[in-house]
Amino acid sequence: MSHPQLSYQQGGVINSINLFIMNMDSPAKLIYGVLLIILIVYSSVIPAEYRAFADSLLGRVFGVAIVYGVVETLGWVYGLLTAIAFLLIINGASRIDTSMLEAFDGGGTVSEKKTIGKKWFVERVLGENPTKIATDRVTTTAVET
């Protein structure tokens, strides 16, 4: 009595997975893609110094050159992700040099004082770093009805 030969089914999910693996990019490209995704996802925590450099003339020229190079070497999909990452980094750069910006200006009539001690609650919430204050005294008057 002869037994029928066992045969394995071709196609289906196994074939699709094999096709997917065969068409995958090289590991170097995949690693670069993963790094790009992480860069985009956590773009909000990039330090301001790097953002300021990316927003400078040199940084922008470098950025455009990098995007162009990635498109030419790795393909336009990677170039698209690189462009998004670059734009998000530039977009978060501060437009005003707040280190030299001071809201209070004594103007000669008010005696300026240096900030000493703890910050006010509103300063901590808004992330403000005042360097000088106009006065530490408040004059109030009674409200008359």
Partner 1 sequence: MRTWPSFLSFQGTIDGVFRAVAVILAGIVIVHYSTIFEEEYSKKLTALYIHPWWRILVVLLVLTSAIWCPRVGILVALLVFFYLSDMNTLITPFSDL
Q: For binding to partner 1 (CB under 8 A), which residues are involved? A: 33, 37, 40-44, 48, 76-77, 80-81, 83-84, 87-88, 91-92, 94-96, 98, 126-129
Rounded to 5 degrees, φ, ψ at 113 are -130, 145
Provide, rounded to whole angstroms, the least separation between the CB of residue 84 and partner 1: 5
Q: Which is nearer to partner 1, 56 or 91 (CB)?
A: 91
Provide, rounded to whole angstroms, the least separation between the CB of residue 104 and partner 1: 14
Provide, rounded to whole angstroms, the least separation between the CB of residue 82 and partner 1: 11
Q: Which is nearer to partner 1, 40 or 134 (CB)?
A: 40
Helix (H, G, I), strand (E, B) or coil at 133: strand
Provide, rounded to whole angstroms, the least separation between the CB of residue 113 and partner 1: 20
Sequence-distant (6+) residues with CB within 8 A of 25 are 33
Q: Which is nearer to partner 1, 21 or 143 (CB)?
A: 21
DSSP-assigned states of every residue in 76-89: HHHHHHHHHHHHHH
For the record, the structure tokens of 129 come out as 């770093």
Q: Which is nearer to partner 1, 64 or 126 (CB)?
A: 126
